[in-house]
Each structure stands twice: as C-alpha cells, then as structure tokens.
Amino acid sequence: MFQLVNISQGILKWSGHSTNSLVVLCSGSFRRGATITLIALMAEVCCHGAANAQTSSVRPEPVPCPDVITQTVTEIEGETFDCGIVRVPADYDNPDGSQIELMYGVLRSTSLSPAADPIIYLHGGPGGGELASLTNTLAERLATLRARRDIVVFDQRGSGFSPGEIECNEVFAANSDAAFAAAGEIAEASGMNPGAAAGEYLIPLCAAHLNEQGVDLSQYNTVTNARDVVHVAEALGFDSFNLYGHSYGTRLGLEVLRQNPPGLRAILLDSVLPTDVAWRERLPETNEEAFLGIYGMCLSDPTCAEAYPDLVETLNGVFTALSAQPLTTESGLPVTAASLEQLILSSANQAGGEWRVRYLPRMIHDLAQGDPALFEALSLMRYAEAETASPPAFQLDVSSIPARLMLNRANALVSQSDALRQSAETLARQAQDMASEADESLAAVFLRTLSELEDVPYSTTLDDTYAADRVSLPLRPATPVELGQFVGRHFSGIDAEILTSLVGQMTPDDISEIFRRLRNLDRFSEQLHELAFALRMFTCNDSVPFNSAERVRERIESYRIPGLTVREARTMAYELGACDGFPTGTLGEDFHAPVTGDGSLPAMVFTGTNDIQTATSWSEQAADNLVGSQFVRFPNTGHGATLFSQCARDVAGAFFDQPDTAVNAGCASDLVPNFALRDEPLP
C-alpha cells in the first residue's frame, strides 16, 4: 500500500568532471534536420579526452543547442545550459543496425555544490518533445529542483529534436490545402476541433510514406523508450540518477522502474498514466472526474455545499437547455453547450487560469437562471487581475557582482509591473495612431504584435495548447468573440490588454482580414502534425487492442455528465479505429500489468483534483500498486502539479532531497479555492 498524505482533496558533466572547453570548441548553430557530420567529427576530436574517461561504450556528443532554445541574461549556453546527442539503436535486438540520435539538454544546477545525482525529466505526449522550452517553461517549472541538482531533458524518439526516422514535412506541406478542405467533414465525424481534424487527413499519408521508406514503426513504443532512458543515463556517466515523469512520462517512468536499471535512486510521477489503465478508451472519464473533484472541494465547504447542493444535476440541465436554445451575452457572445464545456475544462486544467474555478459553481447556477453575465466575464478573463497576485520577487543566492546586478534588475522590473499594466491603454492607443499614420490596418498591427509576442522568452504563448489553438483559429467563425477568447486563453497582463484593446477597436472587415491572413500565414504547423502523428503511432503500438473503439462507445452510457464526456468519447472511438498503416499489438499483456516495485526504490506520486488528462483515480491506482510509495493530491490543480504551485515544487524538492522520508505536504491545504456564493458581489 502507498503512504497517503491526506490533504483536503551548460557544462556537460560526465562522472562529475566538467568539460567546459568542449562546448566552447563546438560552438555554432544547429537546426533540426541539419547535417551534423562535421559537428560529430569535431566532437570526436575535442571530446576525446572525456570519452576516454567513460567506462561505457556509449558516449554523448556535445553539439550547439537548437536556435529555438533561447539565451537570456540569466541563461547562457555553455555556462548555465548545454546540449548534446546520444545515439541509440533503432532496434535494440539489432544493436549494430541503424541508430537514432536523441538530443538532450542539461540545465546546470544553480547550486555551487550540487548533489551528485541529477534528475532526468521525462516529458509528456507521447511525442510531445519539450527540449525547445528548456530555458523558459522548463527552467521556470524545474527551478526548485535545479537549486540542488542538474536537470537533464531529452526529446524521446519520434518527438521534437529526436525525430529518428519519422520525417513527413514534405508530405504535410504537399497536402496542406487538401487537409483544409477535408477538415470540416472529419471534424463532424470525429468531434475534433478543425485543426486536429485536418491532421487526421495527414496522419495516414505520413504513415504510408514511412512504410514505403522501410521505416519500422514498431520500434516507437514505450518499452523501447524506456531502454533509451537507461541508455542516456549510461552515456552521461551517471552512477546515480533520479527520474521525474510528467503525463506520458509517468508511464515511461513506470516502465523504466519495471526494467530496474542500476543507479536509479528515486522516481517522482506527476499526473500518472498507469500501464494497466486503458487510457485512450477511458480518457472521457477524466473530464467528468475533474469536475467532480472541483465539486468535491465545494461540498467540503459547508457554505458552498449549502449554496449548490445539486450542482451535477444543475449542470446537466444547463447542457440540455443550451443544446436546445443557446443563450447570448450582453456583448453578443454565444453561450452554447460546446462553449460551456470548453470553459469548464480549460478552467480546470490550465495553469494560470485555475482562478476561474472558484466561480464555476456560481456560473452554472446563474446559467440555470438564464443569466450568462458571469460566463461572459470568465470567457473574456475580466476578473484575471482581481484574482491573480503580482509575481513575487526573485530570491536567488548569487555571489558575483554581475549576477547581483542582474538580479536587482529583475526585481526592479517586477516592481514596475503595476505601472506597466496601467500603461496598456496608452500603448494600445499609440498603436492605433501609428497604424493610422502608416496607413496600416489594425489587423496588421494585431498580427505583427502576435508574432512578436510568440518570440518572447517566458511568454504565455509557449504552453502546449497554443500551437493547436492557433492552427485551429482561422477555421473558426471570423468574429471578435472568437478572437477575444483566443487572446484570453493564451495571454495575460499587459500583453492581453493590448491585444484585447486592438480587438475591441476593429471593424468586421478588420476581423475578417485577420482570419484570412492567419490562414495564409500558418497553413498547418509542422510541429502540431508531428505531435499528432507520434501520438497515433504510440497509441497503435502500445494501446491497441488493449483499448478498443467498441468499449469507448459502451462506456458512454455510464457517464454522469454527458455534456463533458460524449464529444471526447466520439474522438477516442474515431482515433482507436484509425490505425491503418500502423503496427498494433506491439507490446504484449505483460506491459499492461501493474508496476508494483518491491519497495526498495522511493517513489512519489502527484495528482491534481482538476486534471482532465490523467484522472486523479489513475494516479491513486498507480500509487496503490507501488509498494511503499507516497501520494499527494493537490487541490485546484490540473495536469502537471508542479506547473500550478510552488507548494508542489517544494514538495517535489523535499522528496528528492530525502526520498526515504515522509514529505510534509501541508501547504496543499492552502490551494483550496474560496468559492463564490450566490449573492456574493462580483469584481
């Protein structure tokens, strides 16, 4: 049984030796898909001494980081982070055959005396490479852990900068227009958004192309991925290492644990996808369970429970009423069953947007009374400032004078944030004046601003939903409401105010121009379709026939809240029936057995009450299977607990520092929202 914590609901390093000169000698630029023969030869020469120190036949090759990994005043390649490549067999049963290059990055510890056992971060997906966000999203998320240890991030085979033999860019580009044309029909059949539906047109074309090239798609599965993890640890010379798995990375981490490699010290599983859960088949239940988790927090508060005693029945009634007759807000925003589903689920699961959870029971109650005002306010993020605290000052232990100056400047910028926000309207008016003087439309100003913000390190646009949402946007109705909701989902603070102000001043022609130009500019993101393809490839290899479309349909009748589950069920049934061109049944029943361990390896399991991607009950099931594991449930937290709170990050840090000691997770009780009651004045 697991131990339950009951809460209310760089320099590359081998064996501890730095090789700073190697990175300097191997400096330059690197882009995915570029030939690296010359770089490999340079690495062979300049890294010869370090390679000789390796006891393993496997060794890494330092290479310049991809251009997309941004350098800042605090993140400098060769000083605070580095990149490299580890070659692994495409097929471990044929180790002398073709090789796959796995690209990795190292975030060096900010400690002057780091622990000797680094953390290897296992990203989600499958196929969702995260190396591109090494110095922004990941550096921020993992800062607490980095204070004691180096963090190694690598893109798994078939994802990001480790595509292996998966290359379909030309196929995607050649069929982009046809995918646009087919998107509507596929969306109707599958329940997907238009961007994802267009990808469904492209996926089988890519599979056919790769099969023609003789690529063995069966080698892209979780068991092989787990062998890659061990290979990377061996190549980097880690006598002892830890694993932190997120989302699909937890399934991968469990398989690594099952393979029981030498040197594995401790494992943290954040938002768990157990090997014994038919997750593609059961994914719709995560939406329902997340809402019930939110309602459970309400019921634990006597005043909230009294105000909303029958919230599930009320919500079902609202879905039924909106399906028959949508409402319209004062500003013309349509309130449909689909838009209500989207708002509830995004509120539950989006880091930075969870402040909306406190209003959800009140919003559902108001909609049942025919009042959509609160729905409009939440959709347009009107209460964000009132519910979001100012960012805390940075507190880092730095010794050098230049570092202290940079830190002082960072804190000065934080203190100026309120003044900067207050200037948003002035800046927006200036943008409008500039547009008039230059005879440039507001649509052009909006698109240019959007493009500039996408290039800003630490921008909110860098989350994993932005690319898909941006690609889908030009396929949606060309209205200011759609554009405003897009801004609200992905931007905050002064960025959101500027973009929202521009939208508010646009004519219908401006709006139409934006959607027309977005379609011409974007076509379809290669990154988005690579992710969709990798997800399908791993689904077919790992999960079929363990998951079936027929059982998805059978489960529909058991859901308590159809408005949150039926659309997802349609999508899962469609995807599970779309494995033509892909191998299936690659992994046997042994893979789908629970991973139990023997209690000798410390394990920690995190889950969030609001998680719509991996149900809380799945994480609890995984913890129950893992002998001696610890389990923490974080209130008002979605997918990936450490994305949501410093509490989760601190608990993770405490675990890795003393993995054999019970954690103190009392801070989680402070995460429970203060729910808005029926008659409470709104901001």
Which residues, in sequence order, are bridge partners of residue 433?
A: none
More confident residue, 680 or 40: 680
Nearest to 137 by CA among 359, 459, 355, 378: 459
How confident is the model over 661-680, as a mean pLDDT? Answer: 96
Whether the CB-CB separation of 350 and 307 falls below 8 Å is answered with no
Question: Quick one: pLDDT at residue 231?
Answer: 97
Note the Cα 567 to chain centre separation in Å. 21
390 vs 247, residue with greater confidence: 247
Higher-confidence position of 4 and 569: 569
Pure H helices in 332-441: 337-349, 360-368, 373-379, 384-387, 401-415, 417-422, 424-437
More confident residue, 247 or 169: 247
pLDDT value of position 225 = 97
Q: Which of 144, 101, 85, 151 is nearest to 122 (CA)?
A: 151
Q: Residue 352 to residues 69, 301, 492: CA-CA distances in angstroms?
A: 23, 23, 9
Q: What is the per-residue pLDDT for 46?
A: 37
Query: Would you list the DSSP string of 161-198?
Result: TB-TT---HHHHHHTHHHHHHHHHHHHHHH---HHHHH
- Is residue 440 pLDDT above 80, yes or no? no
The mean predicted confidence, pLDDT, of the chain is: 83
pLDDT on residue 22: 30
Q: pLDDT digit string (tens) for 86-116?
A: 999 999 999 999 999 999 999 999 999 999 9
Q: How confident is the model at residue 24 (pLDDT cuts 50, 70, 90)?
A: very low
Token pair for 297:
């927090």
Q: CA 446, CA 512: separation in Å to the nearest integer? A: 13
- Please write the tens of the pLDDT for every residue from 354-379: 899 999 999 999 999 999 999 999 98
Question: Predicted confidence band at 187 (pLDDT cuts at 50, 70, 90)?
Answer: confident
Which pLDDT belongs to residue 611?
96
Note the pLDDT tens digit of each residue in 620-663: 999 999 999 999 999 999 999 999 999 999 999 999 999 999 99
Per mean pLDDT, which range of 252-256, 260-264, 422-426 is the poorest?
422-426
Residue 199 is predicted with a pLDDT of 84
pLDDT at 664: 97
CA-CA distance, 306 to 314, in Å (whole number)? Answer: 14
Residue for token pair 């219908």: 508
- Closest by CA to 130, choosing from 104, 109, 108, 164, is 104
The arithmetic mean of pLDDT across residues 531-554, rounded, is 94
Higher-scoring residue by pLDDT: 517, 218? 218
**pLDDT band for position 11 (50/70/90)?**
very low
- How far apart are the two ends of the chain, measured CA to CA in Å? 46
Q: Is residue 501 within 8 Å of residue 424, measured between CB atoms?
A: yes
Residue range(s) in the chain whose domain bears CATH number 3.40.50.1820: 3-165+218-276+593-671
Q: Which residue has the tokens 């500019």?
A: 521
Q: How many helices (H) and strands (E) does the chain have?
A: 31, 14
| pLDDT confidence bin for 518, thresholds 50/70/90 | confident
pLDDT at site 196: 81
**Least confident piece of the model among 206-210, 216-220, 530-534:** 530-534
With 90 as the cut, is the pLDDT of residue 237 above it? yes
Q: How far is residue 246 from each of residues 106, 328, 378, 541, measured CA to CA in Å? A: 18, 39, 29, 20
Radius of gyration of the chain (CA): 25
Tell me how far CA of residue 540 lies from CA of 74, 122, 446, 582, in angstroms.
Answer: 42, 21, 41, 6
Residue 69, both tokens:
């990994």
Which pLDDT score is estimated for 487? 87
Distance CA 607, CA 682 (A): 31
Please write the tens of the pLDDT for every residue from 442-495: 888 888 888 777 654 434 444 556 766 776 777 778 898 889 888 887 887 777
* Phi and psi, residue 502, nearest 5°: -65, -45
pLDDT on residue 494: 76
Residue 491: what pLDDT?
81
Query: What single DSSP character describes residue 290?
Result: H
- The rounded distance, in Å, linking the Cα atoms of 206 and 170 is 9
Distances (CA, A) of 466 to 66, 87, 492, 603: 21, 31, 13, 32
| The pLDDT value given to residue 467 | 64
Fold of 3-165+218-276+593-671: Rossmann fold (3.40.50)
Distance from C-alpha of 76 to C-alpha of 387, rounded to nearest angstrom:
34
380-423 confidence digits (pLDDT tens): 888 877 776 544 444 444 444 444 445 444 554 554 454 444 44
In the predicted model, is pLDDT for residue 349 greater than 90? Answer: no
Which pLDDT value is given to residue 47?
Answer: 37
String of DSSP letters for 131-166:
GGGIIIIIHHHTHHHHTTS-EEEEPPTTBTTB-TT-
Query: Which pairing describes strands 264-270 and 327-328: parallel, antiparallel, or unpaired?
Result: unpaired
- Residues 45-74 have pLDDT tens digits of 333 333 333 334 578 999 999 988 988 888
Does 350 have pLDDT greater than 60? yes
Q: What would the pLDDT profile of 117-135 be if each residue is shown by its tens digit?
A: 999 999 999 988 899 999 9
HSE-CB for 265 with a 13 A CA cutoff: 19
What pLDDT sits at residue 520?
Answer: 56
Q: Which of 335-349, 416-430, 493-507, 578-592 is the least confident region?
A: 416-430
268: pLDDT strictly greater than 50 = yes
